[in-house]
Structure 1
Amino acid sequence: MNPLLECHRLGQSIWLDFIRRKQLAEGGLARLVADGEIRGVTSNPAIFEKAIGGSDDYDTALAAAIASGERDPQRLFEQLAIDDIRAAADVLQPVWRDSSGVDGHVSLEVSPHLAMDEEATVRDAERLWHAVDRPNLMIKVPGTAPGVGAMRRLIAQGINVNVTLLFSRAAYAAVAAAYIDGVEAFAAAGGDPAAVASVASFFVSRIDGVLDAEIERRATATPDQAPALRALAGRIAIANARLAYADAGRIYAQPRWQALAQRGARVQRLLWASTGTKNPAYSDVLYVESLIGADTVNTVPPATLDAFRDHGRARATLGEDVDGAHTVFAEIERLGLPLDEVTAQLVDDGIGLFVEAHDKLLAAVAAKRDALLRRVA
């Protein structure tokens, strides 16, 4: 069996971490959906920067927007992005309908410049939600403290939210608590708890990327600890994710949540993000094969999707060797590896990367705008 389809049978949804006008226009996304291989789409500023700034796919639409009188790069970008998000949402609408709103979502991110501003994040999310006008949209907000506050308020309005840039179990627990608060508030205001959906995007491979380098540095500096240190290489991110999954099981088994579940409320699924393998020494499907389990999502870039289809193996692995994951964490503490500091820094770095991509994108849109204006001058 196609391992992508087997993941769905095991209760995990595969989403595609990619969007581009050409893929939509030529039916590439529609084929993946029709074949049952993907059940959702995520986007971020870096993806749009590559799609719009790195191709001529959008030049015709951009020229039309400019001809209508629009000049602002941010508004020009949003016109292009919203058209793509609507088109992808329409392709996925049958999945959303047939799954009763569990899957079939497309994510669009608020401006990364707002990551530390709760009020502005709420306003931007509300604006994008109404502009796209698709029930299977998910608004992405960062998992900063202001972002989590914004998520709670958006869920309370019945707006679907994808909380992103989660690296630690503590951050995930705060997000889950805020989600439950939001669902309770939505239900108390007369909303149908079954009508709102959310995912918590928990990042994986970036943790190993940083800590593997730290492990090697320390192993070189302290040869007596080298075997114990190197035994952790490539294992910390997966252990972190598996323990977060165990945390989710406990959180959603509590009576407070179960009362909402009886009214149709759905758990906020953990979504594994940053699952493309960056270290060539590791399997290119490591972060897919190791994190398969019910009530989760894995959002994968196209290369990882192709690799897993070709040679991936699908079996329920998230619940495996939880004791081993606890042992990894005990060793992290014993050896003094700075996991908490790394996960905190990765949030800041992630916001910085998205801000950089967003600004590069607007600069590329402005450059194309100027070139098109010169052409008609």
Structure 2
Amino acid sequence: MSERFKSKLHQITVQYPTDYWNDSCSIEELSYAVENGAVGATTNPTIVLGVLKKEMHLWEDRIRELIAEHPTWDESALTWKLFEEIAVKAAALLRPAYDRYGGKKGRLSIQTNPAAYRNAEAVAQQAVHFDSLAPNMQVKAPVTQAGVRAIEEATYQGVSINATVSFTVPQALAVAEAVERGLNRRTAEGKAVDFMSPVCTIMVGRTDDWMKVVAKRDGIEIDPATLDWAGIACVKKAYGIYQQRGYRTRLLVAAYRHLGHASEFIGGDLVLSIPYEWQVKFNASDIEVRERMSQPVDAKIVAELYEKIPDFRRAYDEDGLSVEEFDTYGATVRTLRGFITSAHDLMAVVRDFMLPNPDVK
């Protein structure tokens, strides 16, 4: 590797339009990522819970201060305030990139309350609030039926969204169309859109996870290696449609399970949101840095997935899911349950500061 590249991931960002983000707001992990070319980062309740467990020494004094500063606040209000402050601190590390790229890069994604996935107004209102916390915020909203409406409204309000809880081609297309409606509403009123940088996540590993659950649950005989291509196939199909239609939303690939979830998208005009451990593994691997985005998934693999797993057809076909079906799709349900549980676990962390166990010295 040429000495001008600090790592394989840095090489990708220099040679191709592919961006990479740190899939965490951990200060330690984000510092490594920025050094290696990352121009963004993300949060969600699960990530923030992990950050607190890893970096509690950076936050325990602040948690106590927040409790003292707001004597009437309950654990929910305190938790969301802490959530905001963790995001803002991470956003500061990305501000140089934000300024350098005129707002198109260098953003920190902060997730709206996952429990509000059925309430478009609540998601949109929280998105607008989160957008005000720092110039370089990117706000995550779920791709549920209500979430799609919230994405349009938040976009209209000038929020750069990151659509999350998304696993399928139909979801990615619904997001792109909602963003277009929001942007068009702004331009029709003479409002600027050039500063905005919407993205739509496809949680590629969680797409694979769901296919594996379905195969096991329903007794479907299929090569296990084939299942590792389900998410990649969905991303590549969605990407082709995005490019063909000229959507102003970029795709973002998250939820990594193996190195192919990074290498298969090299060269695409999209974002790789990679957890720290997978960044380290990728940089240390012998994977050649070369363009693969334009290479389709083996037709035999797609055909086997399509023939044997009905939920792959629903994920892969443009009209495989209606917007009304987004909320009940298996991967959506599993992910929302996990995010909501993590949000409650975060509150429990704050509760332990508010009401420390009297049985323990």
TM norm. shorter chain > 0.5: yes
Give the equivalent residue in structure 2 for 1:238. 232
| Cα shift at 1:216 | 6.2
Q: Deviations over 1:20-69 (max 9, x none)?
A: 3xx36xxx634532x24211000100011222356533210011112223
Residue of 268, 289, 298 corresponding to 1:314: 289
> Matches of residues 242-261 of structure 1 in structure 2 within 5 Å?
242-252=236-246
Matched, 1:13 2:19: yes
Give the equivalent residue in structure 1 for 2:210. 210
Q: Are the equivalent residues in 2 in contact too, given 1:215–1:229 (CA < 8 A)? A: no
| Cα shift at 1:124 | 1.6
Give the equivalent residue in structure 1 for 2:305. 332
| Cα shift at 1:217 | 7.0
Q: Deviations over 1:190-243 (max 9, x none)?
A: 22221111110001112222323544677xx68xxx5x6557332222112111
Q: Deviations over 1:113-168 (max 9, x none)?
A: 100110111112122222x1x22101110011111111111111111110001111
Q: Are the equivalent residues in 1 in contact too, given 2:161–2:199 (CA < 8 A)? A: yes
Matched, 1:353 2:347: no
Give the equivalent residue in structure 1 for 2:151. 151
Q: Which amino acid aligns with 1:297?
A: V
Q: Are the equivalent residues in 2 in contact too, given 1:273–1:298 (CA < 8 A)? A: yes
Give the equivalent residue in structure 1 for 2:121. 119
Q: Are the equivalent residues in 2 in contact too, given 1:138–1:161 (CA < 8 A)? A: yes
Q: Are the equivalent residues in 1 in contact too, given 2:212–2:227 (CA < 8 A)? A: yes
Question: Which shows bigger deviation, 333-342 or 233-242?
Answer: 333-342
When residues 230 and 294 of structure 1 are mapped into structure 2, their CA distance, relative to the original with a 3 A threshold, is closer
Q: Deviations over 1:321-345 (max 9, x none)?
A: 35x35x5443333335432568821
Give the equivalent residue in structure 1 for 2:264. 290
Quote the RMSD (CA, aligned, Å). 2.6
Q: Which amino acid aligns with 1:310?
A: A
> Matches of residues 133-148 of structure 1 in structure 2 within 5 Å?
134-148=134-148
When residues 230 and 120 of structure 1 are mapped into structure 2, their CA distance, relative to the original with a 3 A threshold, is closer
| Cα shift at 1:369 | 1.6
Give the equivalent residue in structure 2 for 1:262. none
Q: Distance in 1 between matches of 2:279 and 2:309?
A: 36
Please state whether the residue corresponding to 1:11 is helix, strand or coil: coil
Q: Are the equivalent residues in 1 in contact too, given 2:111–2:139 (CA < 8 A)? A: yes
> Matches of residues 1-377 of structure 1 in structure 2 within 5 Å?
1=1, 2-8=7-13, 9-20=15-26, 23=27, 29-33=30-34, 35-52=35-52, 56-57=56-57, 58-70=59-71, 71-130=73-132, 132=133, 134-212=134-212, 214-215=214-215, 229=223, 232-252=226-246, 267-275=248-256, 277=257, 284-311=258-285, 312-321=287-296, 324-325=298-299, 327-340=300-313, 344-371=329-356
Q: Distance in 1 between matches of 2:225 and 2:275?
A: 28
Structure 1, gaps ≥5 residues long? 258-266, 278-283
Q: Are the equivalent residues in 2 in contact too, given 1:186–1:193 (CA < 8 A)? A: yes
Give TM-score, length-normalised by structure 1. 0.82
Aligned length: 340
Please state whether the residue corresponding to 1:247 is helix, strand or coil: helix
Q: Distance in 1 between matches of 2:359 and 2:75?
A: 16
Give TM-score, length-normalised by structure 2. 0.86
Q: Are the equivalent residues in 2 in contact too, given 1:53–1:365 (CA < 8 A)? A: no
| Cα shift at 1:13 | 0.8
Q: Which amino acid aligns with 2:80?
A: E
Q: Which amino acid aligns with 2:120?
A: E
| Cα shift at 1:14 | 0.8
Q: Distance in 2 between matches of 1:295 and 1:197?
A: 13
Q: Which amino acid aligns with 2:295?
A: E
Q: Are the equivalent residues in 2 in contact too, given 1:10–1:294 (CA < 8 A)? A: yes
Please state whether the residue corresponding to 2:165 is helix, strand or coil: strand
Q: Are the equivalent residues in 1 in contact too, given 2:97–2:106 (CA < 8 A)? A: yes
When residues 100 and 366 of structure 1 are mapped into structure 2, their CA distance, relative to the original with a 3 A threshold, is same
When residues 6 and 156 of structure 1 are mapped into structure 2, their CA distance, relative to the original with a 3 A threshold, is same
Structure 2, gaps ≥5 residues long? 2-6, 316-325
